[in-house]
Structure formats: structure tokens, C-alpha cells
């Protein structure tokens, strides 16, 4: 009691300063209601949440938010409920009403209040209702979204009030949308419902379609017809957007293929080495990312956002060094013997996989995603996820950087010279064996860079590389051996084709169809899309 007293006084003072809203419950009553959240099973908690929502008192918002975030704990000794923050050796207990630090506790004397999906829905609906009049426009927007989802008929009156008060256009639109959804669920006159359907049609996304379809199923007569028409028009619109979405997915898959294949375009395309261990270089790059993040997590957590930037050059160096070592120790003895090269590099890929498995263990390693790569944004009805967007950008940057190296540097000049005519290049004083090693190292290093990007969308496990090796060869062969532009076009074409086939044929058959298509294509044009001309390729 002694602890509550100061906060009580504080609240009395507050209540004095702020003109109170409708039917403010006393602090004790509210406190008792919040404490009741900590007792009983899920359905008891659900009832308590509904009661708190019905109170309309926005002072309970922090408690409900904490419950949703899993930060609301109950102290079994006196059944009091607290918002908690993690602290050294336990928790800081915060009073749910005043927001003041009350005490600290070890982690055993308080118990987390459990929530399940049903409670999460209740909580979001309750918070939506309570924050409709929040000062923060973002919170009001979120509230409108929550009401749109819950479609609780009791929210009609608060919504009207909120719409009248609203000053920002965007939020008002969202609120009106929410009102329309609620109206369709409640027993307002037909004319209102049909007007509501107009607003739903304007919104036009999947949630709107869901609302329209539900309305069509539940109502009769004019409303049913209007709802069906609305659903149809939304669906047609979404089909168009769906096609655009497929193109985007295709480009994004293409960019992943491109990343995996660029390195191979050097080792296989330029040098002609069938390198089955290429996928393992990708895997090594992903593990370098994991190691970098481990070091950053333990020694300088504030640098985490830069972990991928740091990993890129490191992965290039590590994978490149391994690639050069492989070239010097194995591949240089096998030039001109493709079958042996294939078998040797395939064996090498198994060795590398098992080595990684022995060192890091067989299970997946967690590679964290920096904030700027998580989540999505929308353009119209197109959902674009940040990680895919960054990977597309990254793959293009890598491709163009590599082109610049090949075209503009003396190293690139030597590489091209050696691949076009080894003897002549040797006669001009180029150390051809050294150029071979560097070229192979460059291809492997780029595979390592690809591993950094792929660690963001795929499992970091010893098997990571396996799943990309076939696709990479497909891209290089299809695009035209030895041509980087061909690799770009090939990757994007395969990506988009795959994504357009997938919805109709399913993922398994889609892949089969693409493979069949490539086989037929290679029959017709054995050198791929962009064949290099000249004599060099014949030898």
C-alpha cells in the first residue's frame, strides 16, 4: 500500500489537471481490473480484456500493449500485475497505470501472463478502440486498421466521433474504411451499407475483398448484389496487380540466380572449368557472415547494422583465397580434362561440406537481419520486401563492378587475353598460370559475396551451396557461356518464367518445365542466348 500511495497522489494530481473524459473509473477500480488480468485461464483473460476495452479509458493502454508484447507479468505473492523491463539479474517492475518504476525483481518471483492467438486478436481490437483518439496520427492509423479487422459493431459510435475530430486526410480515409467495414457487419439501413461498399471498393486490397465477400455471403437483396459487384471489381483489379507482383517476384528470383551464377560465369564461362564446388564457395561466404555477426554480437553490438557491409569484403577475401588455393593445388593439373575436373571438384565440394559440418555442426546457424532489410512496403497493391529489393540492387552492383574489372583494369585485360589465346598471351609476357589462379580466385570470391546476400534469405547450413549449383549452371549455359550480359538476361528470364509458371503448374512442375525448356533451347542454340563469336571459343 505504501508503494501505491505516491502513485495515487500523482494520479489525483493528474486527474485534477486534465479534464477527465466520460465515466472515468477510479484508479483503484482500474487497478483491480488490470490485476485481474493475471488470474484465470485464457477465456478469463479474454473477458477482462473486453471489460477494459468497454471502460473506454485510455489509461489502460500501456498495460494492454505490454500484454501484447509479452511484457506484462504477475507477482503470484500478492497477485499484482506489472509491466516489466529486463534488467540486470531479473526485471524492473513498472506500475501499469502510472508508468513509474516500482521495484526490481528476480526472474523467478514474477510470472509472465500468457497470451494466445485469440487473446492477441482481442487485444488488438481493444487497443484499436482505445487509441482511436490518440494524439499520435500513426497510432490512430493503426487503430483504424485494428477496427477494420475486428469489425466490432460496438465501435460504430466511437468511430463516428473519431472521424469528426480527425484532421489528417490519410487517417480519416482509414477511419472511414473501418466504419464501412463495421457498418457491413451491423444492422444499419441498406443505403448506408451500399455506400459503405463504395468505400470498400476504393480501398481495393485483399482485406477489402475479404470484407466484401463476407458481406455478400451474409446479406440479401440489393446489398448482396452490390457486395458481389464490389468483390468482382476488386478481384479484377487485384488480378492486374497480381501480374505485376509476379514480375517482381520473378526479377527477385532472377537476382538470386544472378548472384549465384556471376562467379560461375567467370570460372566456367571465361575459364571453362566445370567447378562443382562453386556452391560451396557461396556457403563459405554465408558462414563468413555468420562469423562476422558472432564477433560483432559479442564485442560490439552497436555495429550490428554494418555487419553485412563488413562481411562483403571479408567473404570475398576468404572465398577468393580458398579458390586460389584450390586452383593451385588441384585444378591447374586438370586443365583440358573436363571429366576429371568435374569429378575432382565434386569430391572437393563434399569435402568442404563435411569440413564445415565438423567445425560448425550440422544445424542451421542464425544470421541476423539488420533492420533496414526487414519488413516490406507497398506500392499500390504491390508488396515489396526490403530484403529482396536490396538483393536485386546488390546483384546488379556486383555484376557491373565485375564488368568494370574485366573491361577497364589491366587484370581484366590479361584475363581476356589469356582466355582468348593462351600462347599468344604468354608470348606477350603475361604470366598465364598466375592469371589463371587470380581469375579462379575472382570467381570464387564473387561466389563468397553471393553467400553474404543469400544468408539473408536462405538457411546457413552446410547444404546451402548444393541447392544453387544446378541453377547456376543453367543460367550460365542458357545465357551464353563467357558473356556477362547473357548471364544477366538468362537469370532474369528464368526467374520470371519460373514465377509465372508456379501459380499454374505448382513449384515442382514449374521447375521441371523450365528445365525442359532449357534443354530444348540448347538443342536449337547450343551456345545460349548470347553466343560469343570468333575462333577462341572453338578450342
Partner 1 sequence: MKTYFRGAVAGIALAAAAMTSTVAQAADTIKVGILHSLSGTMAISETTLKDVMLMLIEEQNKKGGLLGKKLEAVVVDPASNWPLFAEKARELIEVKKVDVVFGCWTSVSRKSVLPVFEELNSILFYPVQYEGEESQKNVFYTGAAPNQQAIPAVDYLAEQEGVKRWVLAGTDYVYPRTTNKILETYLKDKGVPAEDIMINYTPFGHSDWQTIVADIKKFGSAGKKTAVVSTINGDANVPFYKELANQGIKAEDIPVVAFSVGEEELAGLDTAPLVGHLAAWNYFMSANTPENAAFIKKWKTFIKNDKRVTNDPMEAHYIGFNMWVKAVEIAGTTKPDAVIDSIVGVTVPNLTGGVSAMMPNHHITKPVLIGEIQANGQFETVSSTPGLVPGDAWSDFLPGSKDLISDWRKPMSCGNFNVKTGKCSGKGS
Q: Which residues bind partner 1 (CB under 8 A)?
A: 42, 70, 114, 116-118, 120-121, 124, 149, 206-207, 209-217, 238, 242, 245-246, 249, 252-253, 256, 354, 357-366, 368-369, 374-376, 383, 385-388, 457-463, 466-467, 499, 502-503, 506-508, 511
The least distance separating partner 1 from the CB of residue 255, rounded to whole angstroms, comes to 11
CA–CA dist 7, 524 (Å, integer): 82
The residue written with cell numbers 524492473 in the block is 92
Q: Which cell numbers in the block locate residue 466?
A: 548444393
Judged by CB, which is closer to partner 1: 103, or 470? 470
CA–CA dist 514, 253 (Å, integer): 14
Q: Which cell numbers in the block locate residue 304?
A: 550490428
Which DSSP letter does residue 332 get? G
Judged by CB, which is closer to partner 1: 138, or 164? 138
Judged by CB, which is closer to partner 1: 185, or 416? 185
For 529, residues 6+ apart whose C-beta sits below 8 A from its C-beta are 478, 479, 480, 486, 489, 490, 493
Judged by CB, which is closer to partner 1: 24, or 369? 369
The least distance separating partner 1 from the CB of residue 166, rounded to whole angstroms, comes to 25
The least distance separating partner 1 from the CB of residue 511, rounded to whole angstroms, comes to 6
Neighbours of 266 (CB within 10 A): 32
The least distance separating partner 1 from the CB of residue 212, rounded to whole angstroms, comes to 7
The least distance separating partner 1 from the CB of residue 440, rounded to whole angstroms, comes to 27
Judged by CB, which is closer to partner 1: 29, or 69? 69
CA–CA dist 195, 189 (Å, integer): 10
The packing angle between helices 278-299 and 221-264, to 10°, is: 100
Question: What are the start-end ranges of the H helices in 363-459?
Answer: 386-408, 410-420, 422-427, 432-454
The least distance separating partner 1 from the CB of residue 455, rounded to whole angstroms, comes to 11
The least distance separating partner 1 from the CB of residue 447, rounded to whole angstroms, comes to 17
Angle, vertex CA 106, rays to CA 103 and CA 109, nearest 5: 90
Secondary structure (DSSP) of 61-92: HHHHHHHHTT-EEEETTTTEEEEEEEETTEEE
Judged by CB, which is closer to partner 1: 68, or 430? 68
In angstroms, how far is CA 66 from the centroid of its own chain? Answer: 25
The least distance separating partner 1 from the CB of residue 535, rounded to whole angstroms, comes to 40
Residue 469's alpha-carbon distances to 7, 205, 224, 259, in angstroms, are 64, 38, 54, 12
Judged by CB, which is closer to partner 1: 7, or 466? 466
Report yes or no: 254 and 494 within 8 Å, Cβ to Cβ. yes
The least distance separating partner 1 from the CB of residue 250, rounded to whole angstroms, comes to 9
Judged by CB, which is closer to partner 1: 26, or 354? 354
3-state helix, strand, coil in the chain (%, to 5): 70, 5, 20
Q: Which cell numbers in the block locate residue 204?
A: 481495393
Residue 302's alpha-carbon distances to 307, 314, 341, 370, 373, in angstroms, are 10, 19, 45, 11, 17
For 222, residues 6+ apart whose C-beta sits below 8 A from its C-beta are 190, 194
Judged by CB, which is closer to partner 1: 392, or 425? 392
Judged by CB, which is closer to partner 1: 352, or 481? 352
With CA atoms as reference, report the closest residue to 185 among 233, 158, 221, 147: 147
The least distance separating partner 1 from the CB of residue 361, rounded to whole angstroms, comes to 6
Judged by CB, which is closer to partner 1: 207, or 340? 207
Backbone angles phi, psi at 168, to 5 degrees: -95, 130
Judged by CB, which is closer to partner 1: 506, or 526? 506
H or E stretch at 481: none
The least distance separating partner 1 from the CB of residue 180, rounded to whole angstroms, comes to 15
Report yes or no: 63 and 72 within 8 Å, Cβ to Cβ. yes
The least distance separating partner 1 from the CB of residue 187, rounded to whole angstroms, comes to 19
CA–CA dist 97, 31 (Å, integer): 7
The least distance separating partner 1 from the CB of residue 308, rounded to whole angstroms, comes to 15
* DSSP bridge pairs for 376: 385
With CA atoms as reference, report the closest residue to 286 among 361, 368, 351, 349: 368
Judged by CB, which is closer to partner 1: 142, or 416? 142
CA–CA dist 163, 183 (Å, integer): 14
Amino acid at each position: 500500500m505504501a508503494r501505491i500511495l505516491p502513485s495515487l497522489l500523482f494520479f489525483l494530481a493528474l486527474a485534477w489537471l486534465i479534464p477527465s473524459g466520460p465515466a472515468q473509473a477510479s484508479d483503484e477500480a482500474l487497478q483491480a481490473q488490470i490485476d485481474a488480468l493475471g488470474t484465470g485461464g485464457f477465456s478469463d483473460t479474454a473477458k477482462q480484456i473486453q471489460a477494459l476495452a468497454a471502460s473506454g479509458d485510455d489509461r489502460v493502454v500501456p498495460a494492454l500493449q505490454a500484454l501484447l508484447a509479452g511484457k506484462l507479468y504477475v507477482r503470484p505473492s500478492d497477485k499484482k500485475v506489472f509491466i516489466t523491463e529486463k534488467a540486470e539479474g531479473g526485471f524492473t517492475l513498472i506500475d501499469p497505470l502510472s508508468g513509474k518504476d516500482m521495484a526490481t525483481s528476480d526472474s523467478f518471483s514474477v510470472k509472465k501472463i500468457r497470451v494466445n492467438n485469440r487473446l492477441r486478436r482481442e487485444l488488438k481490437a481493444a487497443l484499436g478502440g482505445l487509441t482511436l483518439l490518440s494524439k499520435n496520427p500513426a497510432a490512430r492509423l493503426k487503430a483504424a486498421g485494428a477496427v477494420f479487422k475486428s469489425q466490432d459493431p460496438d465501435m460504430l459510435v466511437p468511430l463516428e466521433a473519431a472521424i469528426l475530430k480527425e484532421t489528417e486526410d490519410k487517417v480519416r480515409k482509414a477511419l472511414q474504411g473501418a466504419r464501412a467495414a463495421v457498418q457491413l457487419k451491423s444492422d444499419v439501413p441498406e443505403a448506408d451499407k451500399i455506400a459503405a461498399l463504395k468505400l470498400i471498393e476504393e480501398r481495393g486490397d485483399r482485406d477489402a475483398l475479404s470484407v466484401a465477400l463476407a458481406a455478400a455471403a451474409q446479406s440479401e437483396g440489393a446489398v448482396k448484389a452490390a457486395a458481389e459487384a464490389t468483390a468482382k471489381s476488386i478481384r479484377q483489379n487485384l488480378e492486374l496487380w497480381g501480374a505485376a507482383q509476379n514480375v517482381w517476384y520473378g526479377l527477385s528470383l532472377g537476382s538470386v540466380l544472378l548472384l549465384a551464377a556471376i562467379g560461375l560465369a567467370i570460372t566456367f564461362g571465361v575459364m571453362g572449368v566445370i567447378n562443382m564446388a562453386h556452391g560451396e564457395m557461396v556457403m563459405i561466404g554465408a558462414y563468413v557472415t555468420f562469423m562476422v555477426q558472432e564477433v560483432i554480437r559479442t564485442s560490439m553490438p552497436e555495429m550490428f547494422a554494418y555487419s553485412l557491409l563488413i562481411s562483403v569484403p571479408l567473404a570475398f577475401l576468404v572465398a577468393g583465397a580458398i579458390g586460389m588455393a584450390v586452383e593451385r593445388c588441384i585444378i591447374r593439373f586438370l586443365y583440358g580434362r573436363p571429366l576429371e575436373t568435374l569429378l575432382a571438384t565434386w569430391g572437393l565440394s563434399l569435402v568442404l561440406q563435411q569440413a564445415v559440418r565438423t567445425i560448425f555442426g550440422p544445424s542451421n546457424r542464425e544470421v541476423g537481419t539488420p533492420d533496414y532489410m526487414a519488413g516490406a512496403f507497398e506500392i499500390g497493391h504491390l508488396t515489396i520486401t526490403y530484403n529482396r529489393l536490396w538483393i536485386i540492387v546488390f546483384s546488379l552492383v556486383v555484376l557491373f563492378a565485375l564488368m568494370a574489372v574485366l573491361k577497364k583494369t589491366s587484370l581484366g585485360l590479361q584475363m581476356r587475353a589469356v582466355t582468348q589465346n593462351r600462347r599468344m598471351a604468354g608470348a606477350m609476357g603475361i604470366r598465364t598460370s598466375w592469371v589463371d589462379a587470380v581469375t579462379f580466385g575472382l570467381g570464387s570470391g564473387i561466389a563468397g559475396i553471393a553467400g553474404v546476400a543469400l544468408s539473408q534469405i536462405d538457411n546457413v547450413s552446410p547444404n546451402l551451396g548444393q541447392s544453387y549449383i544446378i541453377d547456376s549452371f543453367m543460367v550460365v549455359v542458357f545465357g551464353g557461356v563467357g558473356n556477362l550480359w547473357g548471364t544477366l538476361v538468362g537469370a532474369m528470364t528464368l526467374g520470371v518464367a519460373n514465377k509465372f509458371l508456379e501459380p499454374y503448374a505448382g513449384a515442382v512442375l514449374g521447375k521441371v518445365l523450365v528445365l525442359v525448356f532449357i534443354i530444348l533451347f540448347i538443342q536449337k542454340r547450343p551456345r545460349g542466348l548470347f553466343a560469343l563469336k570468333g575462333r577462341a571459343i572453338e578450342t
